Amino acid sequence: MLKNKKGITLIALVVTIVVLLILAGVTISLLLDENGIIAKSKDARTETRVSQIEDEVGMWKQHNFINKESNQAQESADTMLASLISRKLLTEDEIDRNQELITIKKKDGTIIKEISYSSVTINISKTPATEKSGAVVLTVDSVDGLTKIDVSQGNEELNNFVNSLSEEQKKKIIRNVYINLANKRDPSANCTTFQDALDWAKKRGDISEATEDAFWTVLLSEQGLDENLIGVLKSEYFNESTKMIESYTVTNPANATSNEYIATENGTYTFKIQDIVTGKTYTKKVEVTNIDENAKYYVTNIKESDINNNTAKVITKLATIQPIKIADINPYPYWCVTLKDKETKTIQTFTVAYIIYNNQKIDISSIIGNYNNCSYIGGGHICNYLRTQLNDFNADEFYRSTQQFIIEKDGTEYRGYARVDCWKGMN
């Protein structure tokens, strides 16, 4: 009789191998998958590292704030960063020293966390913040950490600030202001450098040669450097609402010198803040997610001169300077409220409009203006109208405020927010 042979069949062997391969695959997947144990372990380590960095930066800021208030020496950012690097919590590649920003990323470049170690805080509001709208007004409400000069009680603090600057710092501020000034006076100038502004001034006959020497000769012919700078600071950097001179410029996402921007599409928008003394630039991003993509039109602001593009008369003319008097320019144009096509950006016609003021819906259709197939409502006219309609109307509070409007077109109401800037003389 043949002896029984003990072993496994070929089929059993194959099944065993397949099972082992499956188990191996599952094990490898658990370990190496993007959501696997190793990846999660790395994510956990990264999150711990991010938390440690945030804690360290927060404590550094708090420590420096306390020292500043008690007139003690503050620890530099470089010292704090060097400590983080030495403890392998941070690498040099993760530091943007210009923006004073730490950025932690995944291997694929995805940003995990951005940590600002700047002493400058940029506060931006969204109007409306969450409500669906055809447009969202983004406004830099304040910038903390940069020099602010209180002039509500006189010029003593301003004089002290000017005296603290070197001659080159004073001239640097004036150079930058003159670039903006040239573009304000002549939008076609498109000056981006001080030399561009000098060339522009030479063409106008304001200076004999497109040189700095010629510029300073004319500028200083009537007043000294300090007097000119004080005039510049008062005209260009004075905040009416706070009665402060703020030593910085705000550039909006459209690359215009303005603390406001009207977003008509969802996305990320960046404001730039430049310290006029150091020249350092800080940025702040803001996310907009509440734009109604289906809205055909949106409520917005325009300068009355902008109607000239659909085209109208210019009622505000910037002063001509000979010799150059930078401080004579009024930076505030006459603003209107209107309705624009979201795609073409053209100003629309309409016959019905309301303002929501103190929770009241007030019909302002009677003050709608029309010119060149455009409809608009002047900020000064709104102010004067409300004064006649409301017993408790406060013109000073209304001046340069942001208000909610409803404009009706083709049977549809379009809600939005707009500034009501106007000359105080009209109030």
Whether residues 127 and 253 share a domain: the answer is yes
Q: pLDDT at position 133, please?
A: 87
Q: pLDDT at position 308, please?
A: 58
Most confident of 220-224, 236-240, 302-306, 360-364: 360-364
Cα torsion for 341, 342, 346, 351, to the nearest 10°? Answer: 30
Q: Is the pLDDT of residue 68 over 80?
A: no
Last residue of a domain, one of 236, 269, 288: 288
Residue written as tokens 């340069």? 400
Whether residues 262 and 305 share a domain: the answer is no
Give the closest residue to 181 by CA, choosing from 320, 367, 377: 320
In a domain, 89, yes or no: yes
Q: pLDDT at position 269, please?
A: 96
Confidence at 323, pLDDT banded by 50, 70, 90: very low
Q: Is the pLDDT of residue 43 over 80?
A: no
Contact 355, 362 (CB under 8 A): yes
Average pLDDT over residues 65-92: 88
Per-residue pLDDT reduced to its tens digit, 123-156: 999 988 898 888 898 999 989 888 889 988 888 9
Q: Please enumerate in sequence order all residues whose Cβ is within 8 A of that of 236, keeping only pairs 6 or more positions apart, or say none.
A: 177, 180, 326, 331
Average pLDDT over residues 215-243: 87
Average pLDDT over residues 88-100: 87
- Here the tokens at position 229 are 């700078």
Q: Is the pLDDT of residue 3 over 80?
A: no
Last residue of a domain, one of 255, 288, 321: 288
Confidence at 215, pLDDT banded by 50, 70, 90: very high
Number of compact structural domains in the chain: 3
Cβ neighbours, 10 Å, residue 420: 25
What are 46-53's contacts with CB under 8 Å, separation 24+? 46/104, 46/106, 46/112, 49/89, 49/104, 50/104, 50/112, 50/113, 50/115, 52/89, 53/84, 53/89, 53/90, 53/102, 53/104, 53/115
Last residue of a domain, one of 116, 136, 164: 116
In a domain, 129, yes or no: yes
Whether residues 137 and 253 share a domain: the answer is yes
Per-residue pLDDT reduced to its tens digit, 152-201: 888 899 999 999 999 999 999 999 888 888 887 887 888 889 999 999 99
Average pLDDT over residues 325-341: 66
Average pLDDT over residues 365-392: 90
Confidence at 38, pLDDT banded by 50, 70, 90: low
Q: pLDDT at position 152, please?
A: 87
Whether residues 174 and 278 share a domain: the answer is yes
Whether residues 263 and 341 share a domain: the answer is no
In a domain, 3, yes or no: no
The values of phi and psi at residue 95, to 5°, are -110, 125
Whether residues 257 and 350 share a domain: the answer is no
Q: pLDDT at position 164, please?
A: 92
| Whole-Å CA distances, 376 to 302, 336, 370 | 9, 6, 6
Q: pLDDT at position 195, please?
A: 95
Q: pLDDT at position 115, please?
A: 87
Confidence at 327, pLDDT banded by 50, 70, 90: very low
In a domain, 301, yes or no: yes
Least confident of 220-224, 300-304, 372-376: 300-304
Instruction: Give dist(CA 52, CA 83) in Å, integer.
Output: 12
Give the closest residue to 292 by CA, choosing from 403, 417, 136: 136
> For the chain, how far is it from start to end, CA to CA, in angstroms?
121
Most confident of 27-36, 69-78, 112-121, 352-361: 352-361
Q: Mean pLDDT over all residues of the chain? A: 83
Whether residues 280 and 145 share a domain: the answer is yes
In a domain, 168, yes or no: yes
Whether residues 266 and 128 share a domain: the answer is yes
Q: Is the pLDDT of residue 326 over 60?
A: no
In a domain, 12, yes or no: no
Q: Is the pLDDT of residue 384 over 60?
A: yes
Whether residues 44 and 92 share a domain: the answer is yes
Average pLDDT over residues 331-359: 86
Average pLDDT over residues 110-128: 88
Whether residues 214 and 70 share a domain: the answer is no
User: Higher confidence at residue 381 or residue 333?
Assistant: 381
Instruction: Give dist(CA 329, CA 334) in Å, integer.
Output: 14
In a domain, 350, yes or no: yes
Q: pLDDT at position 194, please?
A: 92
Whether residues 134 and 221 share a domain: the answer is yes
- Residue 410: what residue type? D
Whether residues 339 and 363 share a domain: the answer is yes
In a domain, 282, yes or no: yes
Domain that holds residue 82: 37-116
Q: pLDDT at position 406, please?
A: 94
